[in-house]
Structure 1
Amino acid sequence: MQPNPPQPGFPQYGQPPMAAGPIPAARRKPRANAPAAVIAGVFALLAAAMLVWFTLYNVFVAVEANGGLSGITVQNIASGTISAVVLVVAAGFTFARRIPGVWTLFGFCVFYVIAVFVGMPLVWGTPFSSQVKWLFSFDDGDSTAMALMIVFSLLAAVAAAIAASVKSPGKQL
C-alpha cells in the first residue's frame, strides 16, 4: 500500500512545506531621495546653527547690557535652544532618509518661518512692518541670525518636500 501523495495547501504531518520557487525577499519600504535629503539636512543644520547664534547673542546681551534676564530674553533663549535641538533631531532623521522624519523637518521649518513673521508680532504686539524691518536690517547679531535662519529654513523646507516626494527604493539585500 502506497502513502497518499502530498496535497496542495497544508503540509502533511512531519513533512516540510513545499516551495514553488525562490522565496521572495521582504519588500523594503521606500526611502526619501538621497541627494535631496542630504541637502535638506545640511540646510536644517545651518538653520539650527543660526538659532544657537541667536540664543548665545541673547545670553551675552542679558549678561552684559541688562545685568539680568528680562522676560523676552528668557523666551528668546528657551525658544532658540529648543528649536535648535528639534531641528538637529529632525535633520538626523532626514539624513537617515526616513520619509516621516523628512516631512517632520518640512513642518518644523515652515512653522519656524511663520512663527517669526506672524507669531512673534502677534504675541508681543509688534507691527508687522517693524518685524520685517528688524529681521532684514542686519544691524544686530540677533536680527542677522534670525534672517539667516529664515533663509535656511525655507531652503530646508523646499529640499525636504522634494526629498519626501521623490521616493527611492531601499537597499536590496
Structure 2
Amino acid sequence: MQPGPPQPSFPQHGQPPMVGGPAPRGGGPSPWVAPRPRANAVAAVIAGALALLVAGLFVWFALYNVVFALGPDGAWSGVVVVNVVGGLIGAGLLAVPAGFTFARRIAGAWTLCALCSLYVVAVFVTAPLLWGTPVSTQIRFVFGFDKANGVAIGLAVILGVLTAISAAVAGSVRSVAGAGTRP
C-alpha cells in the first residue's frame, strides 16, 4: 500500500513554503508587510562616530574642570560645577542617540541632530546669558583653543555642527531594509 500524495497545508519544519502562501515561522519577511525604512547607512555610521567623538570631548572638558579648575581655597565655583555636571550629562545623553543612529533608526538620527544643534546653541547663547559673559569673550574662548578645555570645547562645537549635519542627512536620506531579500 502506497501513501497518498501530500495535501496542501501549512509547511512543516524543514519544508519549503507553499507558493503564494505564508512563510514558516521565522522564515523571513512576510510578503504582506512592507519593509521598514531605515536611516542611510553611510551617513548613520559617520554621524554615530562623530557623536561618540563629541561625547568624548565633553568628558575631556568635564575632567579638565575636575582636575585643574579648583579655586584658590580648593572649592569649585558655580561655573566649574555647571561645566562638570553639564559635560558628563551631555556626554551620556549624546551616547544614547548615537547608538540608535548606528542602528540606522530614523528617530535616533533626528534626535542626534536636534541634540547636537542644542549643544552648539547652548555654548554660544546659554553660557553668556547664564554667567553674564560677553558673546565676543565666549567666542574667543571657544575658538581660541587656549588651554585643554578650550581645545575640547572648540572641537566639540565644530564636530557637533558636523554631527548635526550628518545626522540630518542620515535621517532624511532613507534606505529600505531588506530590499534585496524580496522576490
TM-score, scaled relative to structure 2: 0.80
Task: Report the Cα distance in structure 1 between the residues aligned to 2:73 and 2:91, rounded to whole angstroms.
Answer: 25
- Residue 101 of structure 2 corresponds to which residue in structure 1? 94
Q: 1:69 aligns with which of 76, 79, 88?
A: 76
- Residue 103 of structure 1 corresponds to which residue in structure 2? 110
- Residue 169 of structure 1 corresponds to which residue in structure 2? 176
The question of 1:115 aligning with 2:122 is answered yes
Gapped regions of structure 2 (runs ≥ 5): 1-8, 10-17, 23-30
Task: Report the Cα distance in structure 2 between the residues aligned to 1:65 and 1:42, rounded to whole angstroms.
Answer: 39
CA contact (8 A) 1:41 1:92 kept: yes
Q: Secondary structure at the residue paired with 1:69?
A: coil
- Residue 137 of structure 2 corresponds to which residue in structure 1? 130
1:22 shift after superposition: 4.1
Q: Secondary structure at the residue paired with 1:168?
A: strand
- Residue 40 of structure 2 corresponds to which residue in structure 1? 33
Tell me the amino acid that sits aligned with residue 120 of structure 2.
Answer: V
- Residue 142 of structure 1 corresponds to which residue in structure 2? 149
Task: Report the Cα distance in structure 2 between the residues aligned to 1:66 and 1:73, rounded to whole angstroms.
Answer: 14
CA contact (8 A) 1:62 1:68 kept: no
1:67 shift after superposition: 1.5
Task: Report the Cα distance in structure 1 between the residues aligned to 2:52 and 2:19, rounded to whole angstroms.
Answer: 50
1:140 shift after superposition: 1.1
Q: What are the superposed Cα offsets for residues 88-139 of structure 1, whole Å, 9 maximum, x if unpaired?
A: 1110000000000100000000000000011110111111101001111111
CA contact (8 A) 2:54 2:156 kept: yes
Q: 2:58 aligns with which of 22, 35, 51?
A: 51
CA contact (8 A) 2:70 2:77 kept: no
TM-score, scaled relative to structure 1: 0.84
Structure having greater relative contact order (Cα 8 Å, sep ≥ 6): 1
Task: Report the Cα distance in structure 2 between the residues aligned to 1:65 and 1:88, rounded to whole angstroms.
Answer: 34
More helix by share: 1
Gapped regions of structure 1 (runs ≥ 5): 1-15
Provide runs of 4+ in structure 1 moved above 2 Å: 19-23, 62-66
1:29 shift after superposition: 1.3
Give the superposed CA RMSD. 2.0
Q: Secondary structure at the residue paired with 1:136?
A: helix
